[in-house]
Amino acid sequence: MNQKLKVSIVGASGYAGGELLRILLFHPKIEINQVTSLEFIGQPISIVHPNLRRITNLQFTKTEDLVPCNILFVAIPNGKSMSLMAELMKIAPRIIDLGADFRLRSAEEWKKWYKTDHQAPKLIEKFVYGIPELRKEEIKKANYIAGPGCEAIVSILSLWPLIKNDFIEEERIIVDSKMASSEAGSTPSLSTHHPERSRVARSYMPTGHRHTSEVEQELTINGQKPKVSISATAVEIVRGILVTIHTFLKKDFEEKEIWKIYREAYKDAPFIRIVKEKGGIYRYPEPKILQGTNFCDIGFKKDNLNNRLVVIGAIDNLVKGTAGNAVQCMNLMCGFEETLGLEFPGLHPI
């Protein structure tokens, strides 16, 4: 019997850390070694992840007490891992960072969007941006992965075949994102306080969303950088993102031609589903039925009045948007089956 790989999680008390635990505890090739938290040291993980009661006896420990392991996941707030990364690299030969610190390809771009100096600019080039559907071969050879932002990954996956095949105008791409409350993280604030968050459809970032930089970076093909405009709206769901993307076709392409480029682009992508039904209530992607899954559902509809192509994408922000995608990257890095541990199909009704 093959020996399991030892994995530890830095920052396992947050929502992303909880999802990593949920997935990895049932992964047949993985043994969870240690999990860290600043606030819950010495306490069982079930104190913040009640769904994992009696599943494991793991307790939270200090980051300083980490011992060497095969793979280290880092799930701490944006801007925190860069100052720790040099030390963390001594603990594990492979690291997957779920935060934003190493997603952008330059310290200058980081400062532009996050308004602080990057604390480890020399380490940026060591990280591969972790979207398996676009960078599978790079990820297989990588030691360090920067997990994409949740809004970024669904937008990139929804747009990539169109940009790659030169179907749409690069100068006019408008992304309307409907965002779940869990994207704000587990630390409460006034905006996430129940009386303020309940029943909202709140436009909280109509311009200037940080994930714009990732989307434009990853969709730059042959030196042609698209112009992407993101508007984010908070809606009353706990999990999920729905993006409605307005693009404009360069020619009067037929829908069967659009179908063809999506099928070709994602023919070997086990977690991409093209959803465009003629009947039923789930004719287009919907986050509700993706809860707990690693799928990204993509649909589209051509507007024949003005040559507009509306693209719809949906994910669970905590799984394909964060933890599940990270495990998918780990599977590729380690030579496992890409879908291993990520087979959950979701629930209906839910």
Host H or E run for residue 248: strand 241-248
pLDDT above 80: residue 170: yes
Over range 185-210, report the average pLDDT.
88
pLDDT above 60: residue 290: yes
pLDDT above 90: residue 84: yes
Contact call for residues 209 and 228 (beta carbons, < 8 A): no
Q: 103-150: per-residue pLDDT in tens? A: 999 999 999 999 999 999 999 999 999 999 999 999 999 999 999 999
d(CA 30, CA 32): 6
Contact call for residues 271 and 188 (beta carbons, < 8 A): no
Q: What mean pLDDT is reported for the chain?
A: 96
pLDDT of residue 193: 83
pLDDT of residue 74: 98
Q: For the full predicted model, state whether its pTM sits above 0.75.
A: yes
Query: How much of the chain exceeds pLDDT 70, in percent?
Result: 100
More confident residue, 192 or 162: 162
pLDDT of residue 146: 98
pLDDT of residue 1: 47
Q: Among positive and negative, which fits the CA dihedral 205, 224, 300, 313? A: negative
Q: 24-69: per-residue pLDDT in tens? A: 999 999 999 999 999 999 999 999 999 999 999 999 999 999 999 9
More confident residue, 176 or 198: 176
Q: Where are the alpha helices (DSSP H) in the chain?
A: 15-24, 85-88, 107-114, 132-141, 150-164, 194-197, 211-218, 255-265, 324-334
Amino acid symbol at 61: T
Over range 283-302, report the average pLDDT.
97
pLDDT of residue 183: 83
User: How many other C-beta atoms lie within 10 A of the C-beta of residue 127?
Assistant: 22
pLDDT of residue 177: 97
pLDDT above 80: residue 86: yes
pLDDT above 60: residue 171: yes
Q: 323-332: per-residue pLDDT in tens? A: 999 999 999 9
pLDDT of residue 191: 85
Q: Name 290's Cβ contacts closer than 8 Å, sequence gap at least 6.
A: 240, 297, 314, 315, 316, 319, 320, 346
d(CA 124, CA 108): 11
Over range 310-334, report the average pLDDT.
98
Domains in the chain, CATH or no CATH each: 5-126 (3.40.50.720), 151-317 (3.30.360.10)
- Catalytic positions, please? 150
- Which among 51, 23, 3 has a CA at the least distance from the CA of 339? 23
